[in-house]
Amino acid sequence: MKAYSVKKYGKNETLHLSDVNVPTIKENEVLVQIHSAGVNLLDSLVRNGEFKIFLPYKTPFVNGHDMAGVITKVGAKVSKFKVGDEVYSRVGDHRIGSFAEQIAVQENDLALKPTNLSMEEAASIPLVGLTVWQALVEIANLKKGQKVFIQAGSGGVGTFAIQFAKHIGAYVATTTSSANTALVKKLGADLVIDYKTQDFATILKDYDVVLHSNRDAKVLEGSLKILKPGGTLVTLTGPPTAELAKEIGLAWPFQVIMNLLSFSARRIAKKQNVNFKFLFMRADGKALGDITKLIEAGIIKPIVDKVFPFEQTNEALAYVETGRAKGKVVIKVR
């Protein structure tokens, strides 16, 4: 089968299209013929080698985390799915490889594709949907009537998070450029801040939750300071914490390193009496099934910026890296 592989880690490296073996499935896995694959900044970071400390993939390996497709084979102990089912997934760590024609996926990482979405729309959902679910529900416990600040509201995570937070009943503030103001307002944002001309830290205060996705240290500091006492900042970009290192089973030297990396942020959080949490999202078919219900009910709508043909996978990844995508970017594999 055809697949796009990382042959060598590096920011200037491209993915290589090559012939690879069709994956063999274990008893708790299914084989999926991929129709579409979502493209995420995570794919770029993995290619660059930024997660080698957490996820030491041995090169060459097939890249890609999101997919939608049809099951063609099931393992002996698979009970929730059958051949012919249309499914989607943010496949599990150490099991990535959605920039390909086929993939083996663990049963517990899968969900049935929303019936009201195309394959391209479905492939745009899993990673961003699970990121938002784990950040706002599992970590921050966002509730009706609370205030949440969602950074980069017109991006992949942001467009999903705004809709989800409004469904919960929260008041939503977000940042974007003036060109995307209408989009984020349509999604439900109550307060829109133009990051090019306005400083959110001078406008917002007493927020319950911040969904942080900016790599600028000043943005992180300002985000912590707009929280009310007891509030929670969930960061998707770091710095990582020792708590994370323990969760994913890293040895104590790495725990010490991460403790040092996050020292400044944790110190500010402690001074402000707020919570600083790092989310390293995980595959979760059950939660994805709950997200499917919201999509089929019309509560969440996918926002897809561009669909690239399979042959332009590197171009799709480069477009995501520009940071200019409105919503998600998808590759049409089949």
> Given this model, what pLDDT does residue 207 score?
98
pLDDT tens-digit readout, 288-306: 999 999 999 999 999 999 9
Q: Does 279 have pLDDT greater than 90?
A: yes
pLDDT tens-digit readout, 258-278: 899 899 999 999 999 999 999
> Given this model, what pLDDT does residue 93 score?
93
pLDDT tens-digit readout, 117-150: 999 999 999 999 999 999 999 999 999 999 999 9
Mean pLDDT to the nearest integer, 29-55: 94
Q: Which of 257, 269, 196, 199 is nearest to 232 (CA)?
A: 269
> Given this model, what pLDDT does residue 53 score?
77
Give the distance, in angstroms, between the CA of residue 257 and the centroid of all CA atoms in the same chain. 25
Tokens 């979760």 belong to 284
Average predicted confidence (pLDDT) for the chain: 96
Task: Look at residue 331 and give its three-state secondary structure.
Answer: strand
Q: Does 246 have pLDDT greater than 90?
A: no
CATH code matching the domain that covers 128-278, chosen among 3.90.1070.10, 3.30.160.250, 3.40.50.720, 3.30.43.10: 3.40.50.720
Q: Residue ranges of the alpha helices (H) in the chain? A: 41-48, 119-123, 126-132, 156-168, 181-187, 200-203, 217-225, 242-247, 252-261, 263-272, 285-296, 313-321
> Given this model, what pLDDT does residue 253 score?
85
H or E element at residue 330: strand 328-332
Cβ atoms 130, 284 nearer than 8 A: yes
Mean pLDDT to the nearest integer, 96-111: 98
Q: How many CB atoms lie within 10 A of CB 275?
A: 18
Q: Does 54 have pLDDT greater than 80?
A: no
Return the percentage of the chain with pLDDT > 70, whole number: 100
- Domain spans of the chain? 2-125+302-332, 128-278
Q: 2-125+302-332 has which fold?
A: Quinone Oxidoreductase; Chain A, domain 1 (3.90.180)
